[in-house]
Structure 1
Amino acid sequence: MLSRRRFRKLDGILLLDKGLGASSNKVLQDARFLFLAEKAGHTGSLDPLASGMLPVCFGEATKVSAFLLDSDKRYITTATLGYVSTTGDAEGEKFNPRPIPAFSDADLEAVLTQFRGNISQIPPMYSALKKDGQPLYKLARQGIEVERAARDLTIHSLTVLARTNNTLTLDVVCSKGTYIRTLVEDIGEQLGCGAYVSMLRRESVEPFGAFRMYTLDELRALAEQGLEALDAVLLPLDSALPHLPSITVEEAIIIRLRQGQKVRTDHDDAELLRIYSEFGEFIGLCESLRGVLIPRRLLAYTSTHL
């Protein structure tokens, strides 16, 4: 039984390929049980309708999860034209049918151009954002709609992969806070016929675009070979932080930093630095300010997988 399993302290990042139908929390817990990890968290949920990359952070990796929440994402989505949905996707009730106007590729490109670069977007009611402590989706299920402030975001790229008489398949690279459902709805309105998301897959989360994802079925097959086979697919914690500068420090300095002390440094000012030991061990994050190294988020390693 699950209650009799002996969970272990484990540090690392798993790139989980979430399947359709399950919640992000469900697949997170499934992965946690397979790895027998004491502590786990994901970095940005995917709706049951959506599939794709869901980074799972085990143990001390949860200390770098915020960087993944803030990172750019790439999605492939199919927009079905001619209707809108109460939820913005295929799970909602379809209404307001409208004829799909004839538009050329050039017409479509002119519409998509409006959504590239820095734009503002009003979050959907069916979202986890909260109003007075209440998730918006719970209010929406009660038929309550509240005013939402527009949010600034960036659509780095927006291209058409395929189109049919009533669908568009789009490749979207965007900043944090982007709602693909809202993007599709807004494009549908500009086309004059409405649209909703009928397929959504998250292809990558920066900086993991070049790394392999693993489905739960693949992980279950590895689990039959033992925990070592599972642990081999985990990424080290600092793989989430390649954009940050790094320095190597002596053991005596590491001890002081772990005690919360500030130490002198000749490094330039930096909001965050990756700190490594002389043996290449990732120690954590510090700030460098006016010649002083200030501990900000140091790791307390509890396993051999770093």
Structure 2
Amino acid sequence: MERIYKNKYDEGQVILIDKPLEWTSFDVIRKIRNLIKIKKVGHAGTLDPLATGLLIVCTGRFTKKINEYMAREKEYTGTITIGAVTPTYDLESDPIDFKEYAHITPEQIRAATEQFTGEIMQVPPIHSAIKVDGKRVYELARKGKEVKLDARLITIKEFEITSIDLPKIDFRVVCSTGTYIRSLANDFGAALGCGGYLSKLCRTRIGEFTLDLAESLSSFEQNLAI
């Protein structure tokens, strides 16, 4: 039975996984490698440990399509919590610099999305996997070293506020590859004048691949046994 599976995944498959909370994207790859017993496995776009949602996993010859899948438009839903910031722009670090937010109106919140829609320049978070001089910038940041990253041109096609229950603001974003939703949350909070950080994130689509087509890791493992 194992030999049949190995041939199938060696030849090449696209597996859509709903990444669990607190798992790294590489945790998922390592788990699938162990399950299908081949090494040629990769993913098309990292999700942070505190994010959930669609992870495209490619095996065998389909790993050649990873860059193609990564370049496709993405959709996310999530929550921005305003009234504070965090060094990592999400809940991997503790909120600091608390400010009052009760005076901010729904109209102000929705109006603020306009400056983050279309082609914009965005600075990636220093706690990210981007390399500077061959080193991951998050490693430098954790050592307390000063890191300066250049702004990058990205496209945010849609930025919709779906619910407001201050300090939490739920949203939906459709964006280009290279967009950091953590940076968007931080910049959005700054635009409101009270700070903000990403407190929840789910990737719901990459190109034509949607989260409702994905399966959990436990479901994938169970189906291998059938």
TM over 0.5: yes
Q: Contact conserved, 2:18 with 2:211, CA < 8 A, in 1?
A: no
The Cα shift of 1:181 comes to 0.5
1:58 aligned to 2:59? yes
Provide the residue aligned with 1:82 in structure 2: 83
Supply the distance in 1 between the matched residues of 2:28 and 2:77 (Cα, whole angstroms): 21
Structure 2: give runs of 5+ residues left out of the alignment.
none
Provide the residue aligned with 1:37 in structure 2: 38
The Cα shift of 1:164 comes to 0.6
Which of 208-217 and 176-185 deviates more?
A: 208-217
The Cα shift of 1:55 comes to 0.3
Q: Contact conserved, 1:121 with 1:182, CA < 8 A, in 2?
A: yes
The Cα shift of 1:101 comes to 4.1
Q: 1:61 to 1:139 in 2, by over 3 A?
A: same
Supply the distance in 2 between the matched residues of 1:139 and 1:80 (Cα, whole angstroms): 26
Sequence identity percentage: 36
Larger radius of gyration: 1
Equivalent runs, 1:1-306 vs 2, <5 Å: 7-8=6-7, 9-209=10-210, 212-225=213-226
The Cα shift of 1:211 comes to 6.1
Q: Structure 1 length as normaliser, TM-score? A: 0.69
Which of 126-135 and 8-17 deviates more?
A: 8-17
Supply the distance in 1 between the matched residues of 2:177 and 2:214 (Cα, whole angstroms): 20
Q: Deviations over 1:229-280 (max 9, x none)?
A: xxxxxxxxxxxxxxxxxxxxxxxxxxxxxxxxxxxxxxxxxxxxxxxxxxxx
Supply the distance in 2 between the matched residues of 1:187 and 1:101 (Cα, whole angstroms): 16
The Cα shift of 1:36 comes to 3.0
- Pairs aligned (count): 220
Q: Contact conserved, 1:125 with 1:145, CA < 8 A, in 2?
A: no
Q: Contact conserved, 2:81 with 2:199, CA < 8 A, in 1?
A: yes
Supply the distance in 2 between the matched residues of 1:210 and 1:77 (Cα, whole angstroms): 14
The Cα shift of 1:129 comes to 0.7
Q: Contact conserved, 2:204 with 2:211, CA < 8 A, in 1?
A: no
Which amino acid counterpart does residue 215 of structure 2 have in structure 1?
A: Y
Provide the residue aligned with 1:279 in structure 2: none
Where 1:95 maps in the other structure, the secondary structure is coil
Larger RCO (alpha carbons 8 Å, 6+ apart): 2
Which amino acid counterpart does residue 107 of structure 2 have in structure 1?
A: A
Supply the distance in 1 between the matched residues of 2:175 and 2:141 (Cα, whole angstroms): 26
The Cα shift of 1:58 comes to 0.4
Provide the residue aligned with 1:271 in structure 2: none
Supply the distance in 2 between the matched residues of 1:210 and 1:76 (Cα, whole angstroms): 11
The Cα shift of 1:10 comes to 3.2
CA root-mean-square deviation: 1.5
Supply the distance in 2 between the matched residues of 1:135 and 1:103 (Cα, whole angstroms): 37
Q: Contact conserved, 1:13 with 1:55, CA < 8 A, in 2?
A: yes
Q: Contact conserved, 1:7 with 1:38, CA < 8 A, in 2?
A: no
Which amino acid counterpart does residue 188 of structure 1 have in structure 2?
A: G
Supply the distance in 1 between the matched residues of 2:177 and 2:138 (Cα, whole angstroms): 20
Q: Contact conserved, 2:157 with 2:175, CA < 8 A, in 1?
A: yes
Q: Structure 2 length as normaliser, TM-score? A: 0.93
Q: Deviations over 1:98-151 (max 9, x none)?
A: 011423222112111110001000111001111111110001101112221110
Where 1:33 maps in the other structure, the secondary structure is helix
Where 2:11 maps in the other structure, the secondary structure is coil
Structure 1: give runs of 5+ residues left out of the alignment.
1-5, 226-306
The Cα shift of 1:83 comes to 0.8
Where 1:114 maps in the other structure, the secondary structure is helix
Which of 190-199 and 33-42 deviates more?
A: 33-42
Which of 26-35 and 188-197 deviates more?
A: 26-35
